[in-house]
Structures are given as C-alpha cells and as structure tokens.
Amino acid sequence: MKISTIKQLLVKIFIKHKLSKAHAIISADALINAELVGAYGHGLSRLKMYCERISKKLINPKPKIKIKKISQSVSHIDANNSIGFVAADLGIKTAIKLAQKTGIGMVAIKGSGHYGLSGYYAEQAVKKNLITMIYTNAPPAVAPHGSLKSLFGTNPICFGTPTGTKIPFILDTSISMINRGKIRVAARNNKKIPEGVALDSFGKPTIDAKKALEGVQLPIASFRGSGLAWMVDILSGVITGGNHAGRVKDPFDDFSGPQNIGHLFITFKANLFQKNYNQRIKDNIRTIKKLPKIKGVKEIMYPGQNKYYRYKKNLKREISISNIIKKDLETLIS
C-alpha cells in the first residue's frame, strides 16, 4: 500500500476517534515512520490499541495540555492524558526551542502515553544540530535483579548527536534483550521468539511469545540492565510526576485507567564546549570505522546507520500490510 494512502487512512481513523486533524497527522506520521525504519512492533500493529484506549476514554482525544515554565531552560508539561505522540511531539519541540535560546533545554512530561520510537524524536533535535538524551518508562515487563516479579518496563534509553553528515548517530535501545513490541507482534502472528530473551510465568526459559508476555522479559547484561531500567524509571517517572515503580498500565491489557507515562527530553547545542564539534565527531567516527574488522564484517556501523538506510530504502517502496493489520484498518475505518 502506498505511504500516502496509508497516511490518509490513518488520519481519517484518528479523526473518527475524535482527534483534531493536527493531532491525527502527528500520530499518523509517527506510526508510518516506525514502519519505514522496520520497527513493526511500534507501527501499525499498535493502531487498534490506541483507538481502543481512546474509545474507552483512557486517552483524551481533546487534551488541554499545560506547559509550566520552570526557568529559561526548563519546562514541565502536563499532557492531560493525550495520545503519547502528541505529548512527545510537543515535548521535543519545546526542548529544541529552549536549547536554541539558552544552549540547553530540559522538558519533563507527565500524563502521557506510549509515544512510539524515542529515536523518532531524537532525530528532530539532531537535525537542529543539537545533542539529545530521551527517557521514557513503560508497563511492567522486566523483574528487578533478585526479584521474582516484573516491575520495570523495557524502559528505552535514547541518545542522539549530529555527525557532520546526513546520517545522524541515534542510539535507541530498550534495556531488555528485545523490545516488547516484537514479542507482541510474534504472539499475534503465532511466531516464536529467540532463545534467551524471556521466561514464562514459572520462571522457565521460553520461545513461546504468548508465554513470554505472561512471564518476564530478561534485561541486557543481567543486573546492569536492571539498574539501567531503574535509572530510567526514576528519570522519566519519579521526577516528572508520571507513574513509576510498576504503576504504568499495560496499554493492551489494563483498561483500569490512563497510563500516565512520564518522559524526559534533554537537548543541548553540540558546540557548547568545543566550537569545532562537527570536525571532532567526524574524526571520532572515522577513527573507529578504520579499526580492523572481524571476518564477515564489511563496515563498522554506528548506531542509527542501518535504520537510516532502511528508512531511505523503504521510502521508495509501498508498505507491506499483513492480513491482520488489514482487518484492523477495515474495522477501524468502517
């Protein structure tokens, strides 16, 4: 299906669910971007969920978002349970403006929901020659080290920087072995997941996606990954006013109330301390790329390169829509 056709359809669906046209476009663009970079667990597979939460009044389609100015460089946003795409779009744009004026911008958000890919927002800052760090928490999926019960989300960590080239450096990674969206897509399509990424509800290793959703996801690097998840929970939940410590509601399974996810956006000018930053980052990347390569590796890639190439490649193609997603689209538009 053509990208333009999908966008028109998504906008119509979101407007049908009472989002404003501007908010519908923001949401549609974010979902399409996920498809184009190959992050299908954050793309159209989540559309039905967003619409269900709007219908059940757990996402506010007409939010009255408030921005509180803390200082010349810091703002606090109450997203009023808006769809996460809208809250995050405002958050990163506000952080960018603050950084452009003062050199650094920090924006905390509460009362938001799942916003898709952190890297999508990081790219906006990097295009303005800003370095950015982005944090957001998520529903329980990972057990704190030493615990039998999942509590932390897969809590992504995102860092972005200009590279002096058209391809930005974007590290966008969950603290779990794989992100939850991939497991959900696998479960919905009755596919297996890789070994070593999850345990079932009895604490046994599993490659069954449905059992993994009922069990626990494994963090990267054992207790270190658990510690990173805790760090993100503090940065995006505790300090923002959002839910934390396992209180973020699962968007697919928990309809007892809004998610109240917290986000933290930090942006700053790349040349704050060294005016020749672009020259220095180019030297940094060039030096690393010249290192001896192991067998089978043609190029040492930096975070964001592969995603950029996938995006450019897929931008020239039609987006492949599975039968399950087609049914979702037909049901939601009818």
pLDDT at 225: 96
User: 322: phi > 0 → left, psi -120 to 50 → alpha, else beta; which?
Assistant: beta
What amino acid is encoded at 280 in this protein? Answer: R
pLDDT at 147: 86
* Residues near 191 by beta carbon (within 8 Å), at least 6 away in sequence: 185, 209
Distances (CA, A) of 329 to 49, 52, 69, 226, 315: 12, 13, 40, 37, 21
Beta-bridged to residue 261, according to DSSP, are 112
The distance of Cα 47 from the centroid of its chain, to the nearest Å, equals: 15
d(CA 328, CA 263): 29
pLDDT at 78: 98
Band (pLDDT 50/70/90 cuts) for residue 146 is confident
Band (pLDDT 50/70/90 cuts) for residue 148 is confident
Task: Please give the model's pTM, rounded to 2 decimal places.
Answer: 0.94
DSSP string spanning 176-205?
BSS-HHHHHHHHHTT-B--TTSEE-TTS-B
**Which tokens in the block code for residue 251?**
């968007």
* Tens-digit pLDDT profile for residues 216-254: 999 999 999 999 999 999 999 999 999 999 999 999 999
* Tens-digit pLDDT profile for residues 248-302: 999 999 999 999 999 999 999 999 999 999 999 999 999 999 999 999 999 999 9
**Which tokens in the block code for residue 231?**
């760090």
**Which tokens in the block code for residue 184?**
């959900």
**CB-side exposure of 227: number of CA atoms within 13 Å?**
4
Query: What value does the mean pLDDT of the chain take?
Result: 96
Mean pLDDT of 28-49: 97
